[in-house]
Amino acid sequence: MIIKVLGPGCANCKNLERVTREAVGALGLDATIEKVEDYPTIARYGIMSTPGLVVDEKVVVSGRVPTPAQVRDLLTALAS
């Protein structure tokens, strides 16, 4: 599973990265987490409000930081 956190480095983007890393750790998933900070790439995913979360090239969250529980649910559903 390849997870990308999209955002130029604002506070919310860092929060999303932290929440995602915690969720991956808690679920014991075999996933790589990348940070995407460059605007053209972010825009190419169709994201207009940062932060964004992309799992295996599919946008799953944009514009807000979900709660840790929501991220765990999301990743569990996508991993199965």
CA angle 78, 55, 50 (to 5 degrees): 130
* Active-site residue identified among 3, 5, 6, 13: 13
Among 25, 37, 64, 76, binds other proteins (CB under 8 A): 64
Contact 58, 14 (CB under 8 A): no
Q: Does 50 bind other proteins (CB under 8 A)?
A: yes
Task: Please say whether the beta carbons of 51 and 13 come within 8 A.
Answer: yes
Q: Which is nearer to other proteins, 2 or 10 (CB)?
A: 10
Per CB under 8 A, the segment of 23-31, 51-59, 72-80 that binds other proteins is: 51-59
Give, as ranges, the residues between 7 and 36 that touch other proteins (CB under 8 A): 8, 10, 12
Binding site for other proteins (CB under 8 A): 8, 10, 12, 39-40, 42-50, 54, 57-64
